[in-house]
């Protein structure tokens, strides 16, 4: 796929993996307009893409990250933000259709009470125990643990390119380094 016309190469380099991963998982659970989605670890490549894609699909989005990242989350479309250093979203009483745990700092057992009856707990990466939970919840119960690999379909890259060019997805460039510092 070609670089979006409205992005620098530097910005374009940040988009594919995180956005493809977020798109794969959100599509896997058939995200719907009006659903409440919480994204834990919302400021990185996958998380910021998930915020923007969930908004594009019409969801109400809550982004969870540290206090220094909350303004950025609002700027890319988060309806609500939570500073995880000040508040535990699993104890807020809010209920979500989807909890997307990008950073793996939570757990299905902690988040289960924050999920609606047929809620979905998404994992961007997982360990063996979480794989077991995914298999177990696919058989038992209405709340499911879901993980997926990033899409490798050309049409998904083209879809993302179109979203970028339409201004629906912005690159999340945290820092820039000179080539000499790439080892660091």
What value does the mean pLDDT of the chain take? 88
Give the lowest-confidence range in 31-35, 119-123, 124-128.
124-128
Report pLDDT for 120: 94
Ramachandran angles phi, psi of 53, nearest 5°: -70, -45
Euclidean distance between CA atoms 134 and 85, whole angstroms: 28
For the stretch 39-50, pLDDT in tens is 999 999 999 999
Give the lowest-confidence range in 1-15, 16-30, 65-79.
1-15
For the stretch 65-91, pLDDT in tens is 999 999 999 999 999 999 999 999 999
Which domains are seen in the chain, by residue range?
A: 20-168 (3.40.50.720)
Most confident listed range (6-15, 58-67, 158-167) = 58-67
Report pLDDT for 127: 64
- Segment 123-145 shows an average pLDDT of 71
pLDDT band at 128 (very low <50, low <70, confident <90, very high): low
**For residues 68 and 145, which has the higher predicted lDDT (pLDDT)?**
68
Report pLDDT for 66: 96
**For residues 126 and 166, which has the higher predicted lDDT (pLDDT)?**
166
Give the lowest-confidence range in 51-60, 93-102, 157-166.
157-166
Report pLDDT for 55: 98
| Reported pTM | 0.88
């Amino acid at each position: 796929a070609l670089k979006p016309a409205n992005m620098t190469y530097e910005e374009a380099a940040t988009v594919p993996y995180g956005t493809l991963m977020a798109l794969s998982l959100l599509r896997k659970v058939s995200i719907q307009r009006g659903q409440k989605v919480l994204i834990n670890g919302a400021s990185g490549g996958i998380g910021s893409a998930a915020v923007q894609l969930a908004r594009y699909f019409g969801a109400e989005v809550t982004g969870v990250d540290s206090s220094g990242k909350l303004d950025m989350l609002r700027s890319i479309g988060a309806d609500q933000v939570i500073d995880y250093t000040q508040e535990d979203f699993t104890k807020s009483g809010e209920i979500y259709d989807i909890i997307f745990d990008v950073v793996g700092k939570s757990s299905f057992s902690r988040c289960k009470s924050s999920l609606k009856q047929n809620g979905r707990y998404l994992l961007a990466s997982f360990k063996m125990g979480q794989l077991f939970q995914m298999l177990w919840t696919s058989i038992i119960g209405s709340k499911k643990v879901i993980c997926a690999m990033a899409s490798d379909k050309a049409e998904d890259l083209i879809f993302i390119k179109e979203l970028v060019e339409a201004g629906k997805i912005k690159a999340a460039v945290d820092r820039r380094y000179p080539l000499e510092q790439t080892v660091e």
